[in-house]
Chains A and B, each alone.
Chain A
Amino acid sequence: MAIHERSLVDPERVLRKERLVIDGIDVSGDWNLIILPRVIEDYDLSFLDEVLEQPEGKTILQCYQCSYCTASCPVHNYWDERYNPRHFIHLARLGLIDELQKRADVMWRCVSCHKCTHRCPKGVLVEEVLKAILRVMAKRGIIEEYPSKKFDKFFLESVYEYGRIEDGELLFGWIEKQGYQVVKDPILKKPIPFMGGVPEWLKQLAVKPIKSMNIGFLILNAKHMLFHPRTKNWNRFKQVLRKVMEEEGVFTH
């Protein structure tokens, strides 16, 4: 028997027999598969309230579970079937925390392409709602620090500090965070590109502009990395930014 959205059923609950005979009748073939029932009693309705408190989570109640979002989602279609935005919304509304936690390993994988939000016939801002759910999960400590969040915070630091980001610094800073040994210049303490341990593909990529004598490009990037582009009059604004982000708990979880 075909099971719709098979990925939603825990594998240990699926029973499949080679031959199945019930009351002397051989029902093998189409009917040899059984899904065991389950009992759910851990509804936590305060989870939904917390999602609704987030400015991005407000539209969660508009969802009527049509699954257009899931059908559009590239992570669901091309990466992992267990990534299912419709189902995450369902679980969050019921307050099935355990079930959400079971999927914590894929939930962060949303690439923010907004196909879901774009196509939702009910005006649910799906991508935003999912991020709100993730945030509540992080607040409650039921999802561990995941790679994209580490990167997000790393990016945010740069914006917060200077008002602008610098791609090269971001790239090499991130490489350093991944555990590679990066060499820094002694005065400004900025990573020097391609010194020390750098992934092989990146090294090769850097050889290209040198080979084609595109020195201007390299100098520009090096200059930007050493003298980070800044926004003027940033300090006063920075204080306000800090204040609102503290209120949101950005620095605590």
Chain B
Amino acid sequence: MAVALQMRKPPMGGIGKRVAYYPGCSLEGAARAYDVSTRIVAKELGLELDYLEDYNCCGAMETKNVTFWGTMLLNARNMSLAKKQGHSVIVAPCNGCSFSLQRAEYFLETDKKVFERINSLLKEGGVDPLTEIPHTYHILEWFYHEAGPEKVKERTKKPLKGLKVANYYGCLYTRPHFYARTYSHGGTEEQERPRMRETADDDEHPYYMEALLEAAGATNVEFEPMHTQCCGGPHSLSDEQVSEKFVMMILQTAKRNGADIIATECPLCHASLEMYRHRLMMKGVPDVDVPAAYFTQLLGIAFGYGAGDVKLKDNLSDPIPVLKRLGLV
């Protein structure tokens, strides 16, 4: 694995050390542990998050499924706020949020009519129209490019020795390539946009999280193809049967590949895994008892912070015993 990572190494930098931070609704509610630990990691790595004041929900999949123009408008408003704060880059720690913003970016850039209509609607709603469209990154990409494994290694005070991690990226981190610009193929001329291969993660085999955690001393277990398998996401409350099955496959693969813990990078995936893990355990399904933690929580611990600092107790799946066993907390 380590050799493969070396070979795929992209250039560093290029996004900017100070960016607009769009936490999204979850991070200020049930997933505050992710917010807190993200801020810790950013501070340690010498990066600056500028909180996007007065943002609104990106609408996630749910709104997108019901209204096209409404969703565009919600995201355009956030983009306009970022511009107003003087940023041309937004980072979001949630797959859903970064997807929504990137999707809006795609339609605004490829369809002139959408751009014009949205701008006039923004004006009508009392928001500055967009002159330029900011680009959105997932926070993991930003950490990787602006700090990278070397910096993580340098900062690590308490290496995550012996911790076997399954890195779970969820669906929308690199998908679909038209929005995330992770790759470029097919499509018509209007759909072609400059690809961002240098800054985006590998589209089918993402590895940024692995690389960062490896630098912090952890051991990564094989987790393909479940690392990008959907957890049932937008249907996790409305279609419980499907979500339960998907989560079961994910957890069992992790367990059977020897993982102590699953590292996540999206509050929705994380909630879904924890919720269904609990239900599956109540049903007595075997091999589903791997706990989950945000990758930023694990990095925080490696940087010498305690379990309370990164709010490990907020995790319903309770990863503390596993970390205690290895003497990490």
Contacts and interface: CB of A to CB of B under 8 A. Distances in A.
A92 interface: no
A113 to B, nearest CB: 4
Contacts of B127: 237
A149 interface: yes
Given A78-B245, A163-B57, A241-B73, A148 B234 contact: yes
A221 B26 CA distance: 11
Chain B residues touching A, range: 35 or more
Nearest to B70: A245
A231 B28 CA distance: 13
A55 B103 CA distance: 13
B186 to A, nearest CB: 4
Given A149-B65, A151-B238, A245-B67, A113 B230 contact: yes
Given A212-B313, A231-B56, A239-B125, A166 B186 contact: no
B278 interface: yes
Given A156-B67, A237-B127, A247-B69, A167 B54 contact: no
A217 B62 CA distance: 26
A122 B187 contact: yes
Contacts of A208: 316, 318
Nearest to B124: A240
B322 interface: no
A74 B235 contact: no
A236 B126 contact: yes
Contacts of B186: 120-123
A75 B56 contact: no
B126 A233 contact: yes
Contact of A166 (B25, B185, B311): B25
A237 B57 contact: no
Contacts of A115: 171, 175, 230
A75 B107 CA distance: 27
Contacts of A204: 278, 282
A156 to B, nearest CB: 5
Given A55-B107, A114-B171, A224 B73 contact: no
A155 B62 contact: yes
A147 interface: yes
B63 A159 contact: yes
Nearest to A166: B29
B185 A245 contact: no
A121 B185 contact: yes
A29 interface: no
A151 B237 contact: yes
Nearest to A171: B237
A148 B237 CA distance: 8
Contact of B235 (A117, A125, A148): A148
B201 to A, nearest CB: 13
A221 B314 CA distance: 11
A224 B279 CA distance: 25
B234 A125 contact: no
A74 B230 contact: yes
B252 to A, nearest CB: 13
Interface in A192-231: 200-201, 204-205, 208-209, 212, 214, 217, 220-221, 224, 229, 231
Interface string B48-78: 0000001111011111111111100110010
Nearest to A169: B29
A65 interface: no
A62 interface: yes
A159 B279 CA distance: 28
Interface in B168-183: 171-172, 174-178
Interface in B258-312: 271, 275, 278-279, 282, 311
B230 A54 contact: no
A54 to B, nearest CB: 7
B203 interface: yes
B207 interface: no
Nearest to A206: B316
Contacts of B245: 78-79
Interface in B59-118: 59-70, 73-74, 77, 107, 111, 114
Given A114-B175, A156-B67, A159-B57, 12 more contacts: A59-B191, A114-B171, A117-B176, A122-B186, A148-B239, A152-B61, A152-B63, A155-B63, A156-B63, A165-B57, A239-B125, A241-B125
Top 7 A-B pairs ranked by shortest CB distance?
Answer: A123-B187, A113-B230, A155-B62, A117-B176, A151-B238, A240-B125, A237-B125
